[in-house]
Amino acid sequence: MEPIDYEKKLKELEKTVRTLKKKLERSEADRQQLENVSEVRESILKNVISELEESQIAIKNRGDELEDALKNLKTLQMKLVESEKMSALGVMVAGIAHEINNPVNFIYGNLNYAQQYFQDLLRLIVLYQKYYPEPALEIKKEIEVIELEFIKKDLDKLFQSMTVGAERISEIVKSLRTFSRLDEAEFKSVDIHEGIDSTLVILNNRLKLPAANLPEIKVIKNYGKLPSIKCYAGQMNQVFMNIIVNAIDALESSLLKAAKTDTGQSITHHPEIQIKTGITDNNWVEIRIADNGIGMDEKVRTKLFDPFFTTKAVGKGTGLGLAISYQIIIELHGGKLECYSEPGKGAEFMIQIPIR
């Protein structure tokens, strides 16, 4: 009885072991399968993540490209608007200068003759008075009415001031022509000082009668010896104009500010613009334009040459002056344009261009 039982038990045990083994195998297979599935999942996830990352980078690049394109577009638009404006202004200025030139020449050319004729007539009257010291009553009365003695004295002064006036108009006309430079080839040899001076003549009214009861702005010229420079003269004048106008604005603001803080008359503001020219050690032309106006802080100074950057009121500032100047000096002439300034200590702009 016993051995059979053993055998039977053994068989049963074997069977159990087999079943267990099978179960184990199956669960091993399941585990393997599960592992495989999770591996697949993981790799899919990784792919998805890397694809996501890639597309994120692509989007960012695209964004950068778009931003660049927008910036370029803005600059281009600015250049277009400005060059359009400048050429329209240039044509107008040159036209006006031309139209005024002729009539002014009539006046200026004939003033000498007119003075000569008047003097001749006066001499004739003196001669009459010498030989006919006792004229008829009517003549005597007329001499009193027209105040002959006064006329004699005043006539010279009168002609003098007329001559000065006519000369001044000629000078302005000449400056307008120099400034617009339409009558000349684009890239040519010019006298830089002539360009600066013509710009100052055009701005004369703002220098003499600045806003806000500012005392007359003194322009101190410190011109060195310069050879004639090959450059785009009209555009260079545009740069001088932009920088000098900014200097005038800065001087006006500093007086307005002083009036507001109202620290009394202790502020003796002597508004000044200094213009210095010379040659640098590496043989470049250097022009420095400095004012003693409000100056600017670091924040403004770093944005100075950005298109559309302005601290001025709407309608007063466009924020284009220095951006355009930068392009003209750096891109057109291969030069340098820098600004040194601190709040309350004025500003200095340095232009350097290579001599060709």
Ligand X SMILES: Nc1ncnc2c1ncn2[C@@H]1O[C@H](COP(=O)(O)OP(=O)(O)O)[C@@H](O)[C@H]1O
> What span, in angstroms and rounded, lies between the C-alpha atoms of 292 and 348?
9
Binding mask 292-331 for Mg ion (x = CB under 5 A): -----------------------------x----------
Q: CB-based burial of residue 129 (10 Å sphere; 0-12 exposed, 13-18 middle, 19+ buried)?
A: middle
Q: Which is nearer to ligand X, 173 or 275 (CB)?
A: 275
List binders of Mg ion among 216-255 (CB under 5 A): 246
> What span, in angstroms and rounded, lies between the C-alpha atoms of 95 and 9?
126
Kindly state whether residue 199 participates in binding Mg ion, applying the rule CB under 5 A: no
**Residue 312 binds which of ligand X, Mg ion, none (CB < 5-8 A, kind-dependent):** ligand X
CA 39 to chain centre: 64
Q: Which of 109, 127, 244 minimizes the C-alpha distance to 170? A: 109
Q: Which of 165, 278, 317, 354 binds ligand X (CB under 6 A)?
A: 317
Contact 278, 351 (CB under 8 A): no
Q: Which is nearer to ligand X, 175 or 325 (CB)?
A: 325
Q: Which is nearer to ligand X, 192 or 304 (CB)?
A: 304
Tokens of 105: 């020449």
Smallest distance from the beta carbon of 300 to ligand X, in angstroms? Answer: 5
Q: Which is nearer to Mg ion, 260 or 316 (CB)?
A: 316
- Dihedral (CA of 255, 277, 186, 94) sign: positive
Q: Where are the alpha helices (DSSP H) in 181-232?
A: 192-202, 204-208
Smallest distance from the beta carbon of 181 to ligand X, in angstroms? Answer: 21
Q: Which is nearer to Mg ion, 104 or 251 (CB)?
A: 251
Q: Which residues bind ligand X (CB under 6 A)?
A: 242, 246-247, 250, 291, 293-296, 300, 304, 309-312, 317-323, 347
